[in-house]
Amino acid sequence: MSVLKSIRSMLVPIRREGFPFIATLAFATLFFGWFWQPIFWIGLILTAWCVYFFRDPPRVTPVSEDLVVSPADGRVVAVAVGMAPRELGLGEQTRRRVSIFMSVFDCHVNRSPLAGEVRKIVYTPGKFVNADLDKASEGNERNGLVIEGTHGSIGVVQIAGLVARRIVCFSKEGDKLAPGERFGLIRFGSRLDVYLPLAANVLVAEGQLAVAGETVLARFGEEPAEHRVRID
């Protein structure tokens, strides 16, 4: 029994949303591989990748009301200032936007960037252009959440990409989320935008790799970096 527990502790959990895809690929691999062996090996690789894609590893989230953690694994593709999508109802004021692109090899489970209540969820149909492009924030299919935290409301937008065709949101309006708590996923390659008040001090740079629930994107309570004056 202790051996089984040890094995289970080493295995990374798989999201149940991936089970139908994994089962379908496994069945197709066995069925068609019976008739032609090369298909078996190709199917085996695809099935292993599908298992890897739907992994849901545990994360250790720093707990502080002043911290904003990454909602996704991936590469930071934009740190900019602009307006949040109108459908979120966050007003006309500009905000800090941090965009994270998830490749097909990144974990696609999305996590809450901070503790707060889900005040609004808005799904918006759209295009499926490359999520690595900046125009994807406005034109692509997306699902936006407004989370009310200690330092006000922030927007978190799940954006479909060129390959991604399905956005899944586990949360509903009125839910209270803990920092790092899972709230959704996107299959199979996509992007997340986080819209923060200007008071937030962004701590990441474009090109940096982020880990969902662990990497600190921003901190409240500090003067934004561009406002600081160095005194020698």
At 229, list the tokens: 């004056």
Q: Could you tell me which of 140, 124, 155 has the C-alpha nearest to residue 191?
A: 140
Mark whether 190 is an active-site residue: yes
CA 101, distance to chain mean position in Å, is 8
Specify whether the CB–CB gap between 168 and 184 falls below 8 A: yes
The DSSP code sequence of 172-199 is -TT-EE-TT-EEEEEESSEEEEEEE-TT
- Give the C-alpha separation, 205 to 217, whole Å: 9
Is residue 3 exposed (0-12), middle (13-18) or buried (19+ Cβ within 10 Å)?
A: exposed
- CA 196, 126, 165, 209 dihedral sign is negative
According to DSSP, the residues that pair with 116 across neighbouring strands are: 177
Alpha-carbon span 108 to 120, nearest angstrom: 22
Question: Which candidate in 70, 99, 112, 190 is catalytic?
Answer: 190
Measure the CA–CA gap between 190 and 40, rounded to whole angstroms: 29
Positions annotated as catalytic residues are 190
